[in-house]
Amino acid sequence: MTTRLEALDPIAGSGAVDQLRRMADRLRPTRLVHVNSTRIGGGVAELLTGIIPLWNELGIETRWEVIEGDQAFFEVTKAMHNALQGFKTNIGKPLLDHYIEINRRNAEKLDFEADYAVINDPQPAYLIEFMRERAQKWIWRCHIDASRPDRNVWRFLWEAVRKYDASIFSMPGFARNLPHPQYLLYPSIDPLSDKNRELSPEEVSGVMDRLEIERDKPIILQVSRFDSFKDPLGVIQAFEMVHAHTPCRLVLAGGEATDDPEGPRIFAEVQEAARGIADITLLLLHPESHYEVNALQRAADIIVQKSVREGFGLTVTEAMWKGKPVIGGAAGGIVMQVQNFRTGFLVNSPEGCALRIRYLLRHPEVGKRMGKFAKEFVRNYFLVTRNLRDYLSLMLLFRGPDGSRRGRPGRLVVL
């Protein structure tokens, strides 16, 4: 039977899988643990789902641990997330104490000894305070745009993050003032997952029929959690401007993530904004509707990701992989992915978004050309094989020249 790595080989090309195997050979035996706060919903869960089995296939013994929390905990961590992305927030001391307490309780329950612990995002960041000795190297992997954080929240988080051995960010501009090496590592997609694998036209039509979305007019799609930073209201405004003159449909598809308690409120706002506008479909999908999202992205003519803040924006990568032109908000990692005028357009307002949608509707051949470039760009830079290679390089850097685990890492800038 073909393994996942073997199946990735022809897709990634250039001997990428062979290179991974050779790097992993130099690291074995190594135990790695990834920790985050949800197994389903959102980009981090998506990433880990794809990458964990590949680590194990490479012989790097890897576990995925998910911390548990109550409603109050996830409200604090969502407020932290918003504050790190620049929202003024006031999180009182009792709530911060509760956040620390939940981290402490998780540390008691989590059962691992590892060479490397990769702690994803702020939710589990304080684990290091309670279990430092259980992993040799602690790496904080920040997936969000923390370049202009609320100062109080950042100071609180910094108390824990400064104790890590390294941190990883998704964009050069996200790096912080920290007393350890910081690395730049772009996220990635798994081209073999249900979210990204090839689908036949019949499979795509089947999903569209099931979701009751007619294909009589061009489809504009945004897939995102219902979150104000993803600006679904801005997308509706842009759509209204276009729809007044040009026949088209808008699909806003989003699901819930267990660590994001704000979804239902934002969804209600979106429903209100879309009321009375023809040709808009709002879809509240189950977080594991990967196949459906895949089909929607393939059925769409234009994909929009009009975020006003974004860590990286895996939905953009996914859309580009499907050969679609993407109109993206000029924010965070979207700027790294969408090459303005080549693989899509970067926009800063609903008006700009409307202008670009209208252009692509009028010139579908340009959209197709952009989509071709987009797919190759993802193949070169944003597939899971490249992400694994970067992590392996980082782990090798942590080794001393003699292969011991006592090395001090140097600085690494990828790409």
Q: Are 309 and 229 in contact (CB under 8 A)?
A: yes
CB of 400 to ligand UDP, least distance (A): 35
Question: Within 10 A of 375 (CB to CB), how many other CB atoms are there?
Answer: 16
Does position 318 bind ligand UDP by CB under 6 A? yes
The correct pick among 46, 121, 190, 301 for binding ligand UDP (CB under 6 A) is 46
Tokens matching residue 43: 């980009």
Closer to ligand UDP by CB, 254 or 371: give it.
Answer: 254
The residue assigned the tokens 């999903």 is 207
Cβ-based burial of 306 (10 A; exposed 0-12, middle 13-18, buried ≥19): buried
Does position 329 bind ligand UDP by CB under 6 A? no
Closer to ligand UDP by CB, 30 or 38: give it.
Answer: 38
Tokens matching residue 37: 């706060």
Residues 296 and 202: their CA atoms lie apart, in Å, by: 13
Question: Within 10 A of 237 (CB to CB), how many other CB atoms are there?
Answer: 17
Does position 335 bind ligand UDP by CB under 6 A? no
CB of 20 to ligand UDP, least distance (A): 22
Closer to ligand UDP by CB, 106 or 307: give it.
Answer: 307
Options 99-107, 120-128, 234-242, 284-292: segment touching ligand UDP (CB under 6 A):
284-292
Does position 325 bind ligand UDP by CB under 6 A? no
The correct pick among 37, 38, 188, 224 for binding ligand UDP (CB under 6 A) is 224
Residues 152 and 80: their CA atoms lie apart, in Å, by: 10
Does position 57 bind ligand UDP by CB under 6 A? no
Closer to ligand UDP by CB, 120 or 385: give it.
Answer: 120
Specify the DSSP class assigned to residue 341: T
**Helix (H), strand (E) counts: the chain:** 16, 12
Closer to ligand UDP by CB, 62 or 289: give it.
Answer: 289
Longest dimension (CA), the chain: 68
Does position 170 bind ligand UDP by CB under 6 A? no
Does position 188 bind ligand UDP by CB under 6 A? no
CA angle 147/386/31 to nearest 5° reads 90
Complete DSSP assignment for 352-368:
HHHHHHHHHHH-HHHHH
Does position 285 bind ligand UDP by CB under 6 A? yes
Closer to ligand UDP by CB, 40 or 355: give it.
Answer: 40
Closer to ligand UDP by CB, 30 or 37: give it.
Answer: 37
Closer to ligand UDP by CB, 59 or 261: give it.
Answer: 261
Options 3-11, 149-157, 287-295, 396-404: segment touching ligand UDP (CB under 6 A):
287-295
Tokens matching residue 343: 């693989």
- Cβ-closest residue to ligand UDP? 43
CB of 144 to ligand UDP, least distance (A): 8
Closer to ligand UDP by CB, 27 or 314: give it.
Answer: 314
At a CB cut-off of 8 Å and minimum separation 6, what does 377 contact? 320, 337, 339, 343
Does position 255 bind ligand UDP by CB under 6 A? yes
CB of 117 to ligand UDP, least distance (A): 21
Cβ-based burial of 185 (10 A; exposed 0-12, middle 13-18, buried ≥19): buried
The correct pick among 225, 243, 306, 389 for binding ligand UDP (CB under 6 A) is 225
Instruction: Write the CA distances from 32 to 29, 60, 65, 117, 397, integer angstroms.
Output: 10, 7, 11, 6, 15
Q: What amino acid is encoded at 102 in this protein?
A: I
Tokens matching residue 55: 């680590």
Options 64-72, 133-141, 177-185, 308-316: segment touching ligand UDP (CB under 6 A):
308-316
Options 24-32, 82-90, 236-244, 310-318: segment touching ligand UDP (CB under 6 A):
310-318
Residues 66 and 176: their CA atoms lie apart, in Å, by: 26
Does position 43 bind ligand UDP by CB under 6 A? yes
**Which residues contact ligand UDP by CB under 6 A?**
42-43, 46, 195, 223-225, 253-255, 285, 289-290, 293, 312-315, 318
